[in-house]
Structure 1
Amino acid sequence: MRCVIVSDFGAVNGGAAKVAIESARGLAEAGVEVVFACAIGPVSPRLDHPRIDVQRFEGEEIWKVGGRIAAARQGIWNAAAHAFLTALLARQPAGTIVHLHQWTKAFSPAAIAAVGESGLPVAITMHDYFSFCPTGGYFDFKAGAPCARRPMSGGCMAANCDRESYAHKLVRVARQWRSDEALRALAQPLFIHVSDFARDVARAFLPRQARHVVVENMMEAQKRPPAEVAGNRHALFLGRFTQEKAGDVLARAAREAGMPVRFVGEGPLRAEILKANPAADFGAWVPAERVFEEIERARCLVLPSLWYEPGPLVVAEARSRGVPVVLARTTGPAGWIRDGEDGLLVDGGDVAGLAAALAQLQDDETARRMGEAAYRHYWADPLTVARHVARTIAAYETLARAPQAASAAG
C-alpha cells in the first residue's frame, strides 16, 4: 500500500500537523510506503524513516506572502502548489491513496483540484470545517454562537461572521468557492471525521458522492495509576483563550460555584477572563511533556466550547489520568462521556449549568468516583497510534476497492 499525505506544515505546530506527522510515521512502521508532501518548514525528525519520502513545496503561510492582495490571491488559488502536486501525483503508481490533512495555510484549494485531476483515490481528514465553511469553524464570531446558516448560501456570504472583518470573510468565501468546485469534481472522496459528532455536523454540507468514516486521532499516554483527584481543588482550562473556547464562561461559572480555577495557555480573551474572575490563576503554555503534570494537579478538566469542536485530545489526556471532564455536549468528545458516571455534560454558554456541574464535583466522593470511571473507560480502548493506524489502513482499503467496484458495476 502507498499513500501521499498532504500537510501544510512539516513540523508540529498544532493538532492537525501533529496527527498528519504521527499518522505518517505510524503508517510507515506498519509497512505503508508514505510520501509526505508539505510546504512550510522545518521538517520534523519524526518523518525520518526509510518508508517516508518527504517532498517539500517551498511555500509560505498565505498571510505572510507580500501584501494582503497577494496573500489573498494565493490563499484562493496557489498556482505553484497546483503545479507541484500535479507533478508529484503524476509520478505515483495507480492505486496510490492521496490523504489531505491540511491545505488552507499554504497549498490552497489547488491541492484538492490537483488530486481530482490525478484520478487517484482521495481521503480528507476533517480536523475542522474548512471543507464546507468559509471560516472553518462553522461559528458566527459576531453572534458568539454556532452558525445557523447553510454554508455558501446567500445568507452565509452576506453575513459578517468572521473573527477579523467582512473583507476577510469575502476572501474566505472566494477560497471556499474554489474549494467547493474542486470537491464536486472528486469522483468518490472519503471524508475521515475525528468524532461521530463532527461527522454528523459536516455530512449534510459535503458532496453527495462522498463516503464517510470516523477515525479518532491518536493520543499516546503511558499508563500510570490514576491521579488522586479528591485531593485536588481547582478546575483546569487548557487551551487558547479565544471567544469560541469560552474561557470567560468557565471563569464566571467557577466564581459562582466558589471553585478555584486555573487557565493554562494564552490568547486575546485573557483580560476578559480575569475580569470575570479576579481570583483565577494563570499559567503559560507548557511543553507537551508537561501537559499531564498540569492535568494530574486538577480536580477536573473543563472544556466549555461554544463551537462544535471536532475532537480535542485534551479530553482523552485527562481521562487517561483519571481526571473527570466537564464539557459542552456539542463537542466531539462528548460522545465518549457517560454523563454523571465518568464526567458531566453541559450546554455551551450556560454559566449556571456549568456552575452546578462544578459544585457537584466539589464533593470528594463524586470526584473520586467519576475520575476512577473515566480512567477505567479510557484504558478499555485507549487512543493509541496503533489503533489510529489500523483504522486508517482499513479506511484506505475501502477507498482502494471503491474504483474497482465502480468499474465492475459499469
Structure 2
Amino acid sequence: MRSVIISDFGSVNGGAAKVAIESARGLAEAGVEIVFACAIGPVSERLDHPRIQVEMFRGEEIWKVGSKLAAARQGIWNAPAHAFLSALLSRQPAGTLVHLHQWTKAFSPAAIAAAGESGLPVAITMHDYFSFCPVGGYFDFKAGAPCTREPMSVSCIASNCDRASYVHKLVRVARQWRSDEAMRSLKAPLFIHVSDFARRFAEPFLPKSARRAVVENMIEASRRPPADVANNRHALFLGRFTQEKGVLVLAQAAREAGMPLRLVGDGDDTIKAEIARLHPNAVFAGWVPPEAAIEEIRAARCLVAPSLWYETGPLTVIEAMAQGVPVVLCRNMGAAQRVSESGGGIVVAAAETSLLRGALEALSDDTRAEQFGRAGYDAYWRNPLTLEHHVQCLLAAYGPLRAIAA
C-alpha cells in the first residue's frame, strides 16, 4: 500500500500536524509506503524512516507572505502549490491513496483540487471545520457563541463573524468558494472524524456521496500509577488562550470557587490581562515541552476544557484521563462522551460561570476527585489510544477506498 499525506507543516506546531506526522510514522512502521508532502519546515525527525519520502514545497505561511494582498491571493488559491502537488500526484502508481490533513496555512484549496484531479482515492481528516466553514470553527467570534447559519449562505457571507475583520472574512469566503468547488471534484471521498460527536455534527454539511469514519487521535502516554489528585490543589488549563476556548469563563469560575488556577500555554496580551483581572492569583506557565505537559497534568486537581465552540477533541482531555486526573468539560466537545461514559469527570451543559463553578466546587472534595480520576484512568487503560491502535483503525477506514482503487 502507498499513501501521499498532505500537511502544511513538516514539524509539530499543533494537533493537526502532530497527527499527520505520527500517523505517517505509524503507517510506515506497519509497512505502508509514505510520501509526506509539506510546505513549511523544518521537517520532523519522526519522518526519518526508510518507508517515508518527504517532498517539500518551499512555501510560506499565508499571512507571512509579503503584502496582505499577496497573502490573500495565496490563501484563496496557491497556484505554485497546485502545480507542485499535481506533478507529485501524477507520478504516483495507481491505487495510491491521498490523505489530506491540513491545507489552509500554505497549500490552499489547490491541494484539494490537485487531489481530485489526480483520480486517486482521497481521504480528509477533519481536525476542524474548514471543509465547510469559512472561519474553520463554526463559531461567531463577534457574538462569542457557536454559529447558527448555513455555511456559505447569504446570511453566512453577510455575517461579520471573523476574529479579525469583515475584510478578512471575505477573503475566507473566497477561499471557501474555491474549497467547495474543489470538494465537488472528489469522487466519494472519505472524511475521517476524530470523534463521533464531530462526525454527527459535521455530517449535514458534507457531500452526500462522501464516506465517513471515526478514527480517534493517538496520545503518547506511558502507564504510571494514577496521579495523587487529593494532594493537588489547582485547576489546570492547557492550550491556547483564545475566546472560543472559554478561558475567560474558567478564570471567573475558578475565582468564585476559590480554586487556584494554573494556565499552560499562551495567548495575546489582551486576553492574558483579562484573565489576570478575573483571577488575580492565576499562574501563567507558558508553553512547555510534551513531557513537561504530562507532569503539569499530574500536578493538577483537575483539567478544565471549557470550550465555547464545537471542539472536535481535545487530546488534553484524554491525556488527563490516562494520568488519573479528573476532567471538567462542556458537552459540545468531542471528548465529552468518553468522559461521561467512563465517569472520569464532570460534563457541564455549557461553558457558563455558574456551571463551571459548581463542578470545581464538587472536585474540591478529595474523595470525589480521586473517584473521578480513578474511573477515567481505568477506562482509558482498558483501551489505550496508542499509535498502533490509531494505525489499525486508519487502515480499516481506508478499506473501502482501497477496494475502489483496486
CA RMSD of aligned residues (A): 1.0
Q: Which residue is equivalent to 2:387?
A: 385
Q: Which amino acid aligns with 2:263?
A: F
Q: Which residue is equivalent to 2:249?
A: 249
* Counterparts of 1:201 and 1:270, CA distance in 2: 31
Q: Is the 8 A contact 2:342 2:375 kept in 1?
A: no
1:341 aligns with 2:343: yes
Q: Which residue is equivalent to 2:97?
A: 97
State the TM-score, normalized to the length of structure 2: 0.98
Q: Which amino acid aligns with 2:51?
A: R
Identity of matched residues, %: 69
1:200 aligns with 2:191: no
SS in 2 for 1:265: strand
* Counterparts of 1:12 and 1:281, CA distance in 2: 26
1:175 aligns with 2:175: yes
* Counterparts of 2:342 and 2:78, CA distance in 1: 49
How many correspondences in the alignment?
404
Q: Which amino acid aligns with 1:288?
A: P
* Counterparts of 1:340 and 1:205, CA distance in 2: 30
1:274 aligns with 2:276: yes
Q: Which amino acid aligns with 2:288?
A: V
Q: Is the 8 A contact 2:2 2:32 kept in 1?
A: yes
Q: Which residue is equivalent to 2:327?
A: 325
SS in 2 for 1:130: coil
SS in 2 for 1:337: helix
Residue 341 of structure 1: CA displacement?
2.7
Q: Which amino acid aligns with 1:64?
A: K
Q: Which residue is equivalent to 1:372?
A: 374
* Counterparts of 1:164 and 1:291, CA distance in 2: 30
State the TM-score, normalized to the length of structure 1: 0.97
Q: Which amino acid aligns with 1:125?
A: T
Residue 347 of structure 1: CA displacement?
2.5
* Counterparts of 1:356 and 1:222, CA distance in 2: 32
* Counterparts of 1:197 and 1:235, CA distance in 2: 25
Matches within 5 A, 1:213-362: 213-268=213-268, 269-338=271-340, 341-362=343-364
| Higher mean C-alpha displacement, 48-57 vs 339-348 | 339-348
* Counterparts of 1:36 and 1:380, CA distance in 2: 33
* Counterparts of 2:241 and 2:231, CA distance in 1: 27
Q: Is the 8 A contact 1:339 1:345 kept in 2?
A: no
Residue 338 of structure 1: CA displacement?
2.2
* Counterparts of 1:66 and 1:254, CA distance in 2: 43
Q: Which amino acid aligns with 1:347?
A: A
Q: Which amino acid aligns with 2:303?
A: L
Q: Is the 8 A contact 2:125 2:192 kept in 1?
A: yes
Residue 339 of structure 1: CA displacement?
6.5
Residue 335 of structure 1: CA displacement?
1.4
Matches within 5 A, 1:45-84: 45-84=45-84
Q: Which amino acid aligns with 1:39?
A: A
* Counterparts of 2:119 and 2:168, CA distance in 1: 33
| Higher mean C-alpha displacement, 330-339 vs 26-35 | 330-339
Unaligned runs of 5+ in 1: 405-410
Q: Which amino acid aligns with 2:402?
A: A
Q: Which residue is equivalent to 1:408?
A: none
Runs of 4+ in structure 1 off by over 2 angstroms are 338-341
* Counterparts of 2:183 and 2:341, CA distance in 1: 38
Unaligned runs of 5+ in 2: none
Q: Which amino acid aligns with 1:27?
A: L
* Counterparts of 1:49 and 1:403, CA distance in 2: 26
Q: Which amino acid aligns with 2:83?
A: A
Q: Is the 8 A contact 2:120 2:405 kept in 1?
A: no
Q: Which amino acid aligns with 2:293?
A: V
1:191 aligns with 2:191: yes
* Counterparts of 2:341 and 2:112, CA distance in 1: 39
